[in-house]
């Protein structure tokens, strides 16, 4: 049981929630799902989940020296020695094989998108995570790639509005993750964080970039609901304005909690545990249903 718990902690199944982004293009396009599209989307979700877990294992192998001196990451199974490097490599290979198997009958465009995801995550683990700003741009790209992959699974056209919103929104979330991770480490020292390259003086700039990206995504949302395109999908598009203050409240609250040092290192994990996030999401969905 101890080994199973170690592996469950290592592959981070709670992070698979990010892969639900695969379903968003179909939902945003008001797609009438058939059985084949549901199966393809579920297979794509599985493929991304297996591959993401493989990348977590690889990342932990690469980061062992830094993780062992980190106040929380030193408890990760690889860094703590509960999973040996050899077992971790074997596990990563198995997870990649499962991801490949899940994509066997999926569209070629999805397979290519998954390969791009793997290439970027590999570059992130070995190089980009140590480059300031490139690391957060890389993380934001990985979120957006999931959205692009989802559109290939159901042949749903990917709105440029939706794509622009995704880029700004996920860039903001990536900066939340980085600021939340760096704040406690930089409270004790002004020296750059090992393996990251950021210094304490960078936190105000990162926060400004993140809050600015949130406001940019809100602006894109406003432009979208006033566009001609929205009238093709919604009978009462003006109701979508109700979603704007809900989004502004959630984004503002996330950044306030982050600057106060009360944010989990990963905003997705935070949202999954936060009751207010569920209430805001429910309100947003009700608004969309009424608008439709």
Q: What is the DSSP string of 235-261?
A: S-GGGGGGHHHHHHHHHHHHHHHHHTT
The tens digit of pLDDT for each residue in 108-166 reads 999 999 999 999 998 888 888 888 889 999 999 999 999 999 999 988 888 888 889 99
Tokens representing residue 167 in the block: 């880029």
Residue boundaries of the structural domains of the chain:
1-158, 159-292
pLDDT at 78: 86
The C-alpha angle with vertex 65 and arms to 60 and 66, in degrees rounded to 5, equals 80
Residues of the chain predicted below pLDDT 70: 1, 185-196, 265
Q: Which pLDDT value is given to residue 202?
A: 86
Classify the phi-psi angles of 12: left when phi > 0, otherwise alpha if psi is within -120 to 50, otherwise beta: left
Residue 192's pLDDT is what? 58
216, 220, 225, 231 alpha-carbon torsion, rounded to 10°: -170
Q: Model-level pTM?
A: 0.86
| CATH architecture under which domain 1-158 falls | Orthogonal Bundle (1.10)
Instruction: Give the Cα separation of 160 and 164 in Å (integer).
Output: 6
């Amino acid at each position: 049981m101890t080994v199973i718990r170690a592996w469950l902690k290592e592959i981070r199944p709670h992070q698979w929630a990010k892969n639900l982004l695969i379903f968003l293009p179909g939902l945003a396009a008001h797609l009438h799902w058939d059985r084949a599209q549901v199966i393809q989307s579920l297979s794509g979700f599985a493929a991304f989940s297996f591959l993401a877990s493989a990348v977590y294992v690889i990342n932990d192998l690469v980061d062992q020296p830094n993780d062992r001196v980190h106040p929380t990451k030193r408890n990760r199974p690889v860094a703590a020695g509960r999973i040996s490097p050899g077992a971790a490599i074997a596990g990563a290979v198995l997870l990649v094989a499962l991801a490949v198997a899940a994509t066997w009958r999926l569209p070629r465009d999805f397979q290519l998108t998954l390969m791009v995801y793997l290439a970027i995550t590999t570059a992130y683990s070995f190089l980009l995570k140590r480059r300031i700003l490139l690391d957060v741009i890389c993380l934001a790209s990985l979120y957006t790639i999931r959205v692009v992959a989802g559109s290939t699974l159901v042949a749903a056209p990917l709105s440029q509005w939706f794509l622009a919103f995704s880029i700004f929104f996920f860039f903001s979330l990536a900066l939340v993750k980085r600021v939340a991770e760096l704040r406690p480490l930089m409270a004790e020292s002004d020296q750059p964080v090992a393996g990251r390259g950021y210094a304490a003086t960078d936190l105000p700039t990162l926060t400004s970039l993140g809050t600015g990206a949130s406001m940019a995504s809100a602006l894109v949302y406003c432009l979208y609901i006033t566009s001609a395109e929205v009238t093709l999908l919604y009978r009462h598009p003006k109701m979508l304005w109700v979603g704007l203050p809900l989004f502004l409240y959630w984004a503002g609250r996330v950044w306030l909690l982050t600057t106060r040092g009360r944010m989990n290192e990963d905003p997705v994990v935070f949202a999954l545990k936060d009751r207010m996030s569920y209430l805001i999401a429910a309100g947003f969905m009700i608004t969309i249903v009424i608008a439709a």
